[in-house]
């Protein structure tokens, strides 16, 4: 029976049960590179499931039996996908499992910012009830939101904002046509145009070479001074230094961040001292419901590969045409 390597802390028990029904599950004590190199060097380890651990070129170069990497979640920036493809290794993820949870979190950050939730909570706790006379919250109802990226998460955020809060929804996404956006009640715009019109900018793109610092100093300068920035995608999509400068100088009203660059933020990071930022520890997609769905989904994808079937959510589809993959597939 082929072995699947899980990394402690691992996926939810339901996912482990699914994997154990058709494979031999083994556990890595941690996700350090040396640990994974040592454990994956055995030819009988055919799969590894990762959450946040990095799967590097060195690991892939020392994993002769590896056929598939399962990413517990959507983003695969922790995996060297190019190296995986070169070695003939499939990379699969679970993009349909947590998008509702992430979208809910994005809307929650919009509300927390507009209602000054963290500041007012702190004020009440320090017996400063007169906070209510000095600072006034705002509504998001009827405001303009720009979705940067209109995939599963961005589309769900757009739907919730439009139907739940009567917001005008703009979106920029080169992969979605103007007609498809219009059918969903969304107006397609170019990024510079949308930034200047939005009361809330909500970021929903993967981190790639093309999207790193997609929202940089020039883009932030285009935003309204009273606007909010929400990022639940990846920290590197936003130039964090430029964001800190804008927030510190009141060039931007506030930001809600579930992701950071670097992650986690280092002690002393000026971002941590700003009062107009709401911070959460990269867990927008980690609701109980989403974790159960995600664990079951990624386990099913990995098991399908080990049983000789192609997965539904393949990140690097070009790999199936490679001779190296075919050689690993038949081991």
Q: Which residues are catalytic?
A: 234, 263, 282
Map tokens 């072995």 to a residue.
3
CA–CA distance, 148 with 170 (Å, rounded to integer): 9
Whether the CB-CB separation of 213 and 238 falls below 8 Å is answered with yes
DSSP three-state, residue 183: helix
Report which secondary-structure segment, H or E, holds 305.
helix 288-306
Degrees (nearest 5) of the Cα angle 67, 69, 71?
Answer: 160
Closest CA to 167 of 191, 140, 148: 140
What are the Cα distances from residue 223, in Å, to 200, 201, 235, 241, 255? 9, 9, 19, 16, 12
Closest CA to 109 of 322, 247, 276, 319: 276
């Amino acid at each position: 029976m082929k072995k699947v390597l899980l990394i402690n802390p691992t996926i939810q028990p339901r996912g482990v049960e699914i994997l154990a029904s058709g494979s031999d599950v083994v556990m890595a004590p941690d996700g350090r590179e040396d640990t994974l190199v040592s454990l994956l060097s055995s030819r009988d380890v055919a799969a590894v499931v990762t959450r946040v651990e990095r799967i590097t070129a060195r690991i892939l170069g020392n994993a002769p039996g590896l056929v598939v990497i399962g990413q517990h979640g959507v983003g695969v920036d922790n995996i060297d996908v190019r190296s995986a493809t070169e070695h003939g290794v499939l990379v699969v993820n679970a993009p349909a499992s947590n998008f509702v949870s992430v979208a809910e979190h994005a809307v929650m950050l919009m509300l927390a910012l507009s209602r000054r939730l963290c500041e007012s909570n702190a004020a009440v706790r320090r017996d400063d009830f007169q906070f209510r006379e000095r600072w006034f919250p705002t509504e998001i109802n009827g405001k303009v939101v720009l979705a940067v990226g209109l995939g599963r998460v961005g589309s769900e955020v757009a739907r919730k904002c439009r139907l739940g809060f009567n917001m005008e929804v703009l979106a920029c996404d080169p992969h979605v046509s103007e007609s498809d956006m219009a059918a969903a009640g969304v107006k397609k715009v170019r990024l510079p145009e949308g930034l200047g019109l939005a009361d809330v900018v909500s970021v929903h793109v993967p981190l790639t070479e093309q999207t790193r610092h997609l929202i940089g100093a020039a883009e932030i300068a285009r935003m309204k001074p009273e606007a909010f920035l929400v990022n639940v995608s990846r920290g590197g999509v936003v130039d964090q230094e430029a964001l800190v400068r804008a927030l510190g100088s009141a060039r931007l009203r506030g930001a809600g961040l579930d992701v950071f660059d670097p992650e986690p933020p280092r002690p002393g990071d000026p971002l941590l001292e700003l009062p107009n930022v709401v911070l959460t520890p990269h867990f927008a997609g980690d609701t109980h419901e989403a974790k159960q769905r995600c664990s079951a989904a990624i386990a099913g994808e990995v098991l399908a590969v080990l049983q000789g079937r192609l997965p539904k959510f393949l990140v690097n589809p070009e790999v199936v045409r490679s001779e190296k993959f075919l050689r690993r597939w038949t081991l």
